[in-house]
Structure 1
Amino acid sequence: MLLRQLTGLMAGLVVAVAAALPAHADELRIGFQKSSFNLIVLKSRGVLEQRLGAGTSVKWVEFPAGPQMLEALNAGSVDFGMTGDTPPLFAQAAGTKLVYVGYEPAKPQAAAILVAKDASIKKLADLKGKRIALQKGSSSHALLLRALDKAGLKWEDIQPAYLAPADARAAFERGAVDAWVIWDPYYASAEKALNPRVLATAEGLTSNQTFYLASREYAQRNKALLNTVFEELTRNSEFMEQHPSDTAKLLSAYVGLDQATFEQVLARHPNYRVGWLDDKTVLEQQKLADRFATQGLIPHPVNVADIVVRH
């Protein structure tokens, strides 16, 4: 009798302990891009795999830009990923099942509108009638829209050339476009190699926010796992802040750009700490969503808070 009672008690304790432990998925598939500096360094150091242990394998999948990554996320090809502020607005307007789960501090100095050094374009108003390269649906889309607003121009006043970063750079180099709206590390690389003139950064125009997203089902089922990932990303950011030279070397080895380029990138935006979204960040994103809706760049207004999952 006593043995049966003890056995039942132990079984109950095992169940209670198991319930208290974080529930981890068997696999975490992370989408990233060449501007996902925190994720790239985290991948290179292998610390997330060490933290999760054998119970959860980590698969890393690279994409050329945010819109492509969100397509894969919506299709279920990856579980979690990082992108700029604009792709989630297009995704929400399209009715995807994606949700915001985390964000990094704003980085307005890490994106810019570039023109050739000897270009006749001297101010934002001079963009009227010009052919401008940008990745459609990316953070550069938001930056250009806000820049046109500041200059008193409409979207119809310019000729957008929707190009992925590598194609946009090639077009910019050969003079096929008059301006290029781009983010780091492509921005810093162009500064080093092409010596362009910076017509404007995102400072005072858009926060150039970074968000982490997942499917709603995955986010709600794996909050403990995502919280662990955020903790490791924040610790990784602290490593990056304390070891800028080593970080630049890691990024250079992975991305293929020189170390000096990444030293410049890190100097512009040293803090990549990650947390769950707060009200201020949601409000800032809502303002951007409203502007896209009034411009007709997304088919209808969206309520950002509807797709925010909090811890």
Structure 2
Amino acid sequence: MTSLTRRSVLSLGVLGAAAVAAACGAKDRAGQAGSGDNWTLRIGTIGSKNQLTSPTGYLHAKNQLLPLLASAKVGAIEVYTFPNGPDLNQALVGNRLDIASYGDTPALIARGAGQPTRLISQANVANDAGIVTVKSGVVSLQQLQGKVIATQTGSYIHRYLLGALQDLKITPKQIVHVYGTDTEAALEKRSVDAAAVPANYALLFQGKGYPLLELASRNRPQYLGTSATIVTEAVLKNQPGIVEAWQHAQNEATKRAKANWGDYLDFNTSLGAFPRGLVAKTVLPEQLPDTPFTDNGVKLLNGTKDFLVAQKIMKKDFSIDDWIAPGARSEWAPS
């Protein structure tokens, strides 16, 4: 399982190149974030719409994010969305992004492969995932022995799946890469036996009759995912003020989201094809830290890193403390 998984993750980098070129076009402006005023901040994120997510996305949708970044001389924001982390990582390799906010697993893999990034915050902690199966299929995780399981390889969901299988000493026949948006079709056609997906998809599929075997939050909280917001070292060199500005913006965005929770849920509902009632079950205030880093968030991040190293998915180990950008700890109030 380990060698198969590692090949899957690495091959996605090649497959994602075309998607990156299409998403970013000719805007390969390496070093565009110079020392002058009014530079354009290019942000990469994961999603099905060309829209920034999380609390910072909530403010951006209201045209309230840019003013909070004025201290870092940001004059405009461009958002690029990708179907998954490996595709986003290719954009980082091509110097097409300045900041990226996505899952911890692909961010760690990129850093472990030598990508020059620095961590500036964790906007979300305790991101949930679950495992569902085909109708009239297996009824327990133990029965996944020798089965085909779908997931978005290279994601925090993938890491959760590998952890669950390892805990139970289960070796599947194959782990195949399937985007969350394509998972229901794979289950319906029975081209896979089960799928590991984000919690919102897991509950959506359960409502359609696909049995839910477990949720990470209920059964394996040690494998909950976190997000990672990173900045390239090139941008950090030219615009060191972006660290403080982004952290301040994230703190303010989180405060406003929690103070207007109903409106924040409406924003999250607008991002995808999930009913508001389901969004309310999977987007929770406790997932949004009040500071850029928390003890629990860093603990989860270290656990994910150590697991990826042990599985030989990450090329090289490194210290999370060393990865955090200079000055990024200034507002860290441990939980």
* Counterpart-to-counterpart distance in 1, 2:81 and 2:256: 23
* Residue 162 of structure 1, aligned match among 177, 183, 190: 177
Counterpart mapping for 1:104-143 below 5 A: 104-108=123-127, 110-116=128-134, 118-122=136-140, 124-143=141-160
> Which amino acid in 2 is paired with 1:142?
R
CA-atom RMSD in angstroms: 2.9
Deviation at 1:105, TM superposition (A): 4.9
User: Aligned pairs, how many?
Assistant: 285
Q: Do residues 64 (structure 1) and 83 (structure 2) align?
A: yes
Q: Do residues 240 (structure 1) and 257 (structure 2) align?
A: yes
* Counterpart-to-counterpart distance in 1, 2:297 and 2:281: 26
Q: 1:73 to 1:115 in 2, by over 3 A?
A: same
* Residue 314 of structure 2, aligned match among 268, 275, 298: 298
> Which amino acid in 1 is paired with 2:310?
T
Regions of 4+ moved over 6 Å: none
- Bigger CA drift: 207-216 or 196-205? 196-205
Q: Does structure 2 retain, via aligned residues, the 8 Å contact 1:102–1:211?
A: yes
* Residue 42 of structure 1, aligned match among 36, 59, 65: 59
* Residue 271 of structure 2, aligned match among 254, 263, 269: 254
* Counterpart-to-counterpart distance in 2, 1:274 and 1:265: 18
Unaligned runs of 5+ in 2: 1-34, 328-335
Unaligned runs of 5+ in 1: 1-21
* Counterpart-to-counterpart distance in 1, 2:155 and 2:40: 28
- Bigger CA drift: 272-281 or 45-54? 272-281
* Counterpart-to-counterpart distance in 1, 2:216 and 2:292: 27
Deviation at 1:283, TM superposition (A): 5.1
TM-score, with length taken from structure 1: 0.79
| Structure having the larger proportion of residues in helix | 1
Counterpart mapping for 1:199-214 below 5 A: 199-202=214-217, 203-214=220-231
Per-residue CA shift, 1:207-253, capped at 9, x if unaligned?
31111111122234434223222222222222322333222222222
Deviation at 1:188, TM superposition (A): 4.3
Q: Do residues 263 (structure 1) and 280 (structure 2) align?
A: yes
Per-residue CA shift, 1:128-180, capped at 9, x if unaligned?
11111111111012101110121123xx5441011222223321232221111
* Residue 286 of structure 1, aligned match among 283, 287, 302: 302
* Counterpart-to-counterpart distance in 2, 1:183 and 1:61: 21
Identity %: 20
Q: Does structure 2 retain, via aligned residues, the 8 Å contact 1:112–1:181?
A: yes
* Residue 26 of structure 1, aligned match among 39, 45, 67: 39
SS at match of 2:42: strand
If you compute each CA radius of gyration, which structure gives the higher value, 1 or 2?
A: 1
- Bigger CA drift: 208-217 or 247-256? 247-256
